[in-house]
Structure 1
Amino acid sequence: MTARKASENESWDAFWASVSRPKTTTIRGVEVVVPTDMPMLVEQRVEELHGSDRLEDIAELVGMVFGQDCLEQWRDNRMGLMEFRVILTWGMANARGKELSFQEAYDLAQETVPEGKAPAPNRAARRAQSAATGGRSKRTSSASTGSARRTSRS
């Protein structure tokens, strides 16, 4: 037997409220509940909206995790894209049950790049790289980069 016996008349909602005491935090002037669970509908909607870049679709998903109108308020409060990536990383980790600090989320967001593409180096980074190797790279001949000409089969 457990040390604490649940009341036979206790509802699920009352039980869940007692064990899931939500915490809040303020993000860009908006008070949000710290996600501790992922609404089941989010996974389904992510699949349905995969590849969409419509603002309405993104706002819907953000609303499911952080609350309605969060995206709009964050945008109005001048949240940057990197900030948004950090908040999404932090929120999704917490929603999946892995407590993550803002710093840890920032570090993860720095490591990951959307769509698997490496960020293009900025002008200063390209110059530094060029200086480190001793100058500009030589042009690659078209013979080494071109594909062999194929004849058609008739």
Structure 2
Amino acid sequence: MTARKTPVDSFDAFWAEVSGGATETIRSIEVKVPTDVPLALEMRLKDLQDSESEDDIRELVSILFGGDVLDQWRDAGMGLLEFKTVLAWGMAHATGTKVTFREAYDMVVAEEAGEGKAPSGQNRATRRTAAKKTAASARSASTGGRSNPTSRASTASKRTTSRG
């Protein structure tokens, strides 16, 4: 039988013990390493999936990393590729997939290059964005609508038999 750890007095103390409470410094800002996807984030992602508002993005980043880190990172000169890398890294950790910053960067670069499926650690919002890009590329150039599939059977003229 394995030895039990010292019991904790509350769920909060227990959760602090199992989640590790690790931090990481990103652009001179110390943030908590996400160890779970907060329910608030999951719910807000659905509401804000198509939003491009900076306030909405700030809210989602705050839920994941805490505080006003988006403003601090922007003030520290963070670029868009860096931001996407940090988000991919944070969401991977939040979903239980431990990735390095290099692996998160490689995922972002591969996604932007349109290479294959999104890795399992990538966040849902990133996968949705990729799906929208794929759907948009399937649209007809002239009308913006989807192109209908064509085959020889659907485009060939029907043969008529001669009465002879």
Fold agreement, TM-score > 0.5: yes
Identity of aligned residues (%): 50
Query: Equivalents in 2 of 1:108, 1:59: separation in Å?
Result: 22
Unpaired segments ≥5 residues, structure 1: 119-154
TM superposition shift of 1:76: 0.6
Aligned partner of residue 105 in structure 2, secondary structure: helix
TM superposition shift of 1:13: 1.5
TM superposition shift of 1:5: 6.7
TM superposition shift of 1:21: 2.1
Query: Equivalents in 1 of 2:110, 2:6: separation in Å?
Result: 45
Number of the residue aligned with 2:4: 4
Query: Equivalents in 2 of 1:73, 1:99: separation in Å?
Result: 25
- Could you report, residue by residue, the CA deviation over 1:54-113 in whole angstroms, capped at 9, with x for unpaired residues? 000000000001112100011111110000110010000000010000000010000113
TM superposition shift of 1:29: 1.3
The reply to whether residue 20 of structure 1 matches residue 24 of structure 2 is no
Q: Which moved more, 1:13-22 or 1:63-72?
A: 13-22
Give 1:26's aligned amino acid: T
- Could you report, residue by residue, the CA deviation over 1:20-73 in whole angstroms, capped at 9, with x for unpaired residues? 221111111111111111111101000011100000000000000111210001
Query: Equivalents in 2 of 1:10, 1:31: separation in Å?
Result: 28
Q: How does 1:46-85 map to 2 (within 5 A)?
A: 46-85=45-84
Number of the residue aligned with 1:44: 43
Q: What's the TM-score once normalised by structure 2's chain length?
A: 0.66
Give 2:50's aligned amino acid: G
Give the CA RMSD over aligned residues: 1.9
Q: Which runs of 4+ in 1 moved over 2 A?
A: 113-118
Q: Relative to 1, partners in 2 of residues 1:68 and 1:111: Cα closer, same or farther, differing over 3 Å?
A: same
Query: Equivalents in 1 of 2:84, 2:50: separation in Å?
Result: 17
Give 2:80's aligned amino acid: L
Number of the residue aligned with 1:94: 93
Query: Equivalents in 2 of 1:37, 1:5: separation in Å?
Result: 22
> What is the number of residues matched between the two proteins?
117
Give 2:64's aligned amino acid: V
Q: What's the TM-score once normalised by structure 1's chain length?
A: 0.70
Number of the residue aligned with 2:103: 104
Aligned partner of residue 13 in structure 1, secondary structure: helix
TM superposition shift of 1:2: 5.2
Give 2:74's aligned amino acid: R
Unpaired segments ≥5 residues, structure 2: 113-125, 135-164
